[in-house]
Structure formats: C-alpha cells, structure tokens
Structure 1
Amino acid sequence: MLRVVGWTALGVGVAAAATIGVLSALVARTVLIPPSRREDDIRILGLDLEGHRIRLSATSDSLLPGEYSFWFSGDTGHAKVGEIVDTDRGGVTRELLEVDFGDLAAARRGRFSGWFWLTPRDLGLPYENVTVPTPLGPAPAWFLPAEDGESDRWVIQVHGRAVRRSETLRAVAPFRDAGFHSLLVSYRNDGEAPRSSDHRYALGDREWVDVDAAMAYAIARGAREIVLMGWSMGGATVLQALTRSPRAALVTGVVLDSPVVDWIATLDFQGRMRRLPRVVRRCVYLLIRSRWGRIVTGLAEPLDLARLDFVTRAAELDRPILLLHSIDDGFVPATASTALALARPDIVTFEEFTIARHTKLWNYDRTRWEDAIRNWLPGLSSHRA
C-alpha cells in the first residue's frame, strides 16, 4: 500500500513538474517570438459612414477618450476614430474620422492602436525614405527634416515591440518645431528591418546595435546632438544604446514613452495578470537568461536581464530623461518608471498620466503630451553647456 502511495505521489510530482516546464516554455516563447498577428478584441456593433459614426463593444480601449487607429478584419483594414459620442450598457459610439483602406462595412471585429498616422505622407510634411546600414543589412527608415531645413540636432525614434516605425510619427511635430531632424527607424525582427539569425526579440539587449547604426547614420549626415526616444520596448532599447554605444557622447537627452525600464518588473506584472504561478514566472526568467534555455526559447544567446534593469542601474545614467507613463498602463507597469524617477530626480522629469494606458498618451491628451516635450527640450542646451 505504501509503495502504491509512493508511486502515486511521484507520478503527481512528475506531472506537475512537466506542466510547469511546458507552461514556462510557452510563456518564454510568447515573449521572444515576434507575433504574426494581433487579436481583434473589439466587436463592431454598428456603422454610419454618412454620419461618420461607428458603434463598438465597450472595452478598456474603446472607452478611452481621444483619437486612435482602428485596425479591423485581421489588420486588412485601417480607420481613424475620434472622440466618444455616446455610451450605454450595450456599447460605445465614436466619431469615425477616416477610413484609410479596407472594407469597414463588411468588418465584424477590430482593435485599437495608438499609431494614428500610417506614413509621413499623412502629416503633409517633407520626408525621405532612407536606409540605415546595420550589421544585419540595410534597414528602412524615414527622415523628416527640421522646420527650417538646416540643423545639426537629430532625434532618433525607436518603436516598441510588435509594432513598426509608424508608431513614432506622433512625436515628429514637437521635435520639428524645436529644430530637430527626425529619423524614424526600423530594427531587427520588426517585420521591416532584416531578421536576426534566431528571429527572436532580445528585449533591447541586441536591438540597440541597430539604434547605434542609426546614430552613425545621423552623424554621417551632420548630427552633432542626438536625442533618443523610445516607446515601450524601444525605451529599453535606447537605454542600452545610451549606455553601450561608442557614439553615446553625442546623446544630450532621452525621451521615454511607456517604457520598459525593468524587464523583470514587466514580465512579473504580465504573469500575475495572467494568473501564472510564481514558480512559472521564475522558470521563464531562467529560460531567457540561461544558455541551456536556448533549446526552448530559440535564442542565439541568452539575455542579460540584469543589464536591462535601469532601476538598479539608475546611478549609471547621466543624461536628462523625460519620462512619460500612464499609471494605469495595463501592459508595462509604471512602477519601474516611478522608481527611476524617485531614484534620479536630478535628471528625470516624470510626466505622469492617468487613464491613458499603454503608448496612447498622445492619443488621450495630445496637447499635454506635445507640450511636455516642447517644454523639456530647451533645457538640453543648458545641460550641454
């Protein structure tokens, strides 16, 4: 009898360990593998093209005030939606500003995004399609000149995970007004730039090399002062570029929108949101940072998660930082941003939003967001002096 109980307990233990291992592997791969599609999580309940109205199911995104991208039918169509007109128990009605492409009348589901504009043409500003030579090959980028056309001040815009450089078009106006050229870059595995051999995100730990290449490109075209701006995972990427690039001496400031300041904090938050047991979360970190974990993750090299923690590394930072984050981000928690701001009030200007969620701060309050950048930029000259 005791032998039976013993074998039963062993079997249960083995099954539990196997479950933890499989679940940890699935989560780690989800974090690292670029997604092929995004979920359409909002139902289209009604459409009035002549009246410029669209009725949607009520979600945390569709109930946000402001102006947004609305991707529909598996990203085969794109529209711009405006402010909320009406809400009730059945859903939310919003302004329909424009349908860029796709058959919205036939669509049944879609999703919100903060992108808003798709290409520089939408801004009505002069621009160039350029390529940045990176170690993996030429990466496409957009160059938008400063308002007066002549400047040695550049901003390099770095988008976040699972999106593209269109995300960063929202930041062109305040930098252009301040006399900055804008370079909106792509980087490895984002669907536009060349793939790495493993086709895995490195969470900024290797993407920074492509940002460094963009810095070299800007310098070759006359840049003498560079601001790095990163969105979400792009924030982690530009912080790596700031601390690891041989060209970092020309960086006079950093702007971060909804940034990943500490990947452990972000992954832990997302794991708790999905009710993953603590042991699974710990196993995910181990897989990502261990050389043997590549069997599961597919990473060419393990990632140094400690190197990606700029709460712990706060003392190493020495450039002015404008940090914009919504306390109720919902994807990348603002806890690490708050901790960094508290640790380095001498260099960090923290613009704290509420309600705006993840990388949608501009959409929620465009005037406040752009003014925060415009008011911060003049201080870079005095810091440089």
Structure 2
Amino acid sequence: MLVLVAALVASASMVVRISGEVSGLRRVSPDLWPSEVRVVDVARGRITIEEVEGGPTWLTVGKTYGLDWGTGSGQVGTVLADRGDRVRRTFRLLEGSLPEAGTVARYSREAFPRDARRAFPDREVREVPVPGEDGPLPAWFVPGRSSSWAILVHGRGAARSEMFRLMRSTVAHGMPSLAVTYRSSPEAGGGETAVGLTEWRDLESAVRLARTRGARDVVLLGSSMGGSIIASFLERSDLAGRARAVVLDAPLLQLRPAIDGSVSTRGVPGFLVTTSIWVEKLRTGVDLAAVDYLDDTSWLTVPALVFHGTSDGAVPATTSQRLSEAEPDLATTHLVEGAGHVESWNFAPRRYDRLVREFLRRHADD
C-alpha cells in the first residue's frame, strides 16, 4: 500500500511539474527575447563580436545574421576566426555608421531592423491597424501591384520583423505584403497563447482587411506558431477559400513533439504527459490536444512550400516531412542541413529566396 501511495504521489508531482512547464511554453512576455553581443572591432568588411552574459552563444553558425546597434544595422556573414566566446565574421553595413568598439548590439536571425521603414528603405511602408477582438493589432504594410496579397504571421514570442526575411521575397515579387501580429504576442502586450486555436481569428481579420482593400486572394506565410495559426485558419475560417497558397518555415503542426522536446519529459511515461495536457485544459479551457494538424491534413487544400532545419530543437523537422508524406501533391518540404529553429534562411539565404520566388511565380501570379 505504501508503495502504491508513493507511486501515486510521484505521478501527481510529475503531472503538476509538466503541466507547469507546458503553461510556461504558452506564456509570452511583452519583452522580446534578449539577443545582445558586444562589438570588439570592425573594419574593411570584417567584424569581431563577443558574447555577453545572457546573450546568444551561437555566434559561429549559419551564413547570414543581423546586427542592429540603434544608429545603424548590418549583416554578419562568413566565419573568419573562432576563439570560443569571440568570433570574427565578414560584415556588410546596411545603414547608418559603423559601430564603435564596445558597442552592445542586437544579434539576431531576423537579419534586418525591427522597424520595416528601416528594413525596406527604398519602399513605401505604412503601419496599419488590423481590427482585433480586443483592439487594433499593429501590422506593417508594403504596397504592391499584384491582386494577390501576402499576409505574414510570426511565431510565438517573436515580432513582425521575424517575417522580413520572407517579406523581402514577397515584396520583390510585387505582392502587397502585410506582416501582422496577433493577441498575446509581445507587440500586443504578451499573455498566454492558445497556440493558434484562437489567434486564427486575428489572421481572419487581416484577410478580411486585405479583401476590403482590393485583394482578390491571399498567400499566407508563417513561421513556427505562425504555421499553427495558418493551419487553424484554413481548418476553421469561412475565408479559408481565399487562400491561394501557403509558405511555412519550421511550422508547429503538432504540439506533442514540441512539448516532448521542450519540457523535461525524459523517462516520463507518455500517459502522464497526456494527463498534464488534460490538466492544462481544465485550468485554462484551452484544448492543447487539438493542436494537431498531421493526424488529419484535410485542412491543406492549396499548394504549400515548407522549410525546416534539421537541427531544430524546438519543432522536430520530422513533422514537416510528415505533412509532405500525407499531402505529396500539395506540400513540398525542403530540409536545411544544420539549421536550427526558423533558421533555414540564415543558412542558405539565396537558395531560400530563389525557392520562394519560384513558388510564388507558379502559384501567386495574376
């Protein structure tokens, strides 16, 4: 009897712990993730940067990352020297003046400034509000000549600027491009996400706005949880038929593998993880088990281009492969060797852009 009681207490303790970690995955701060490094020196197309406490430690991976120090921005490229916590890479100035030694700068996979007016200096850029159920939601808009609009949806805890890598392709293709935000994102004040189960209505509002401004149809582009929002929209919205195609980068199409990869479930029986998800539903009313767009892929009725890094530690690349296997006539997945979460562009920016533009030519031209 004592052994049984002890086992029940241990199981209950695990359920409480895992449920708390799952809650943490859904909780979004109003502050964006810190990503600071220190500039050691810069000259002749080269820059040396070093780690600072609490900043990124992945300074030697990938091909292109962004650096923004407020009075200017640039992109770091090829690794020239690696000294552990200090790295020298090629450097291209995008705007402003070069940073001085000692400057603390934002180092990011986003690769471009967070203000679209700085990221697209040669384009007309407007900040427009998208009507949301709890108030207006900010969006960046770049006009274009096409009657097909691009609507871009960032991931959990990120900002609209996460989508500028993809947005550069849609803008270059001549598509009016709208990078949106949604409830509980940092730019909307943070909070607890429903992992797309409610946020799809904010995407629906953006599609409705595009329609009132002349869009015949839309191409939906999303990264990480933005993929969940797009899948949920296609599954639930009356406007889903206006979608012409989708582009997904490391999409969160099934929550359970992401939970297994992100919370401490090693050695924990699967039924206890399932119970923890059920407890979360009782606590919040959000049925996280419904975040599963792979067991039934009938929501995908339009062509889909998918990118996923093989070293993604947040959302397993196998989930994107499963989408292509389930819908081979619609979905094409490109795996990028060594890339982490939403880093496919950073590892192969030219190939990424080429594949996106080819896809848009086939599926989004008037």
Superposition TM-score, scaled by structure 2 size: 0.85
Residue-by-residue CA offset, 1:48-68 (whole Å, 9 max, x unaligned): 145652233598732213221
Number of the residue aligned with 1:286: 275
1:67 aligns with 2:49: no
- Specify the SS of the correspondent of 2:302: coil
Residue 289 of structure 2 is aligned to residue 305 of structure 1: yes
1:212 corresponding residue in structure 2: 204
Deviation at 1:157, TM superposition (A): 0.2
> Runs of 5+ in structure 1 lacking a partner?
1-5
- Equivalent residue letter for 1:138: P
Q: Which amino acid aligns with 1:243?
A: E
Equivalent residue of 1:322, what SS? strand
User: 3-state DSSP class of the match of 2:338?
Assistant: coil
Residue 235 of structure 2: which of 243, 249, 270 is its match? 243
Q: Distance in 2 between matches of 1:315 and 1:186?
A: 26
**3-state DSSP of counterpart to 2:197:** coil
Q: Is 1:227 equivalent to 2:219 in the alignment?
A: yes
> Residue 364 of structure 1: CA displacement?
1.8
2:49 counterpart (55, 62, 68): 55
Cα distance, 1:171 vs structure 2: 1.5
1:354 to 316, 319, 337: 337
Per-residue CA shift, 1:331-358, capped at 9, x if unaligned? 2111110011111110012222112211
RMSD value over aligned CA atoms?
Answer: 3.3
Which residues of 2 match residues 1-385 of structure 1 at below 5 A? 9=3, 12-13=6-7, 16-35=10-29, 44=38, 47-50=40-43, 52-56=46-50, 61-70=58-67, 80-83=74-77, 84-88=79-83, 91-97=86-92, 112-122=108-118, 123-124=120-121, 125-146=123-144, 150-193=145-188, 199-271=191-263, 274=264, 276-279=266-269, 282-290=271-279, 293-294=282-283, 299=284, 301-306=285-290, 308-380=291-363
In the aligned structure 1, how far is the partner of 2:274 from the partner of 2:68? 32
Are 2:311 and 2:338, in contact at CA under 8 Å, matched by a contact in 1? Answer: yes
SS of equivalent residue, structure 2 residue 186: coil
- Determine what percentage of the aligned residue pairs are the same residue: 27
Secondary structure of the residue that 2:87 maps to in structure 1?
strand
Contact 2:29/2:186 (8 A) holds in 1: no
**What is the distance in 1 between the residues matched to 2:35 and 2:174?**
40
Q: What residue identity is the alignment partner of 2:62?
A: P
Amino acid in the other structure paired with 1:240:
S
**Cα deviation digits, residues 105-130 of structure 1 (max 9, x gap):** 55789764335331222221111110
Retained in 1: the 8 A contact 2:65–2:108? yes
- Write the letter of the residue equivalent to 1:241: F
* Whole-Å separation in 2 of the counterparts to 1:77 and 1:277: 49
Deviation at 1:282, TM superposition (A): 4.8
The amino acid across from 1:375 in the alignment is E
Please report the TM-score for the alignment, with normalisation by the length of structure 1.
Answer: 0.81
Check whether the contact 1:311–1:340 (CA below 8 A) recurs between aligned residues.
Answer: yes
User: Is this contact kept in 1: 2:155–2:222, CA < 8 A?
Assistant: yes
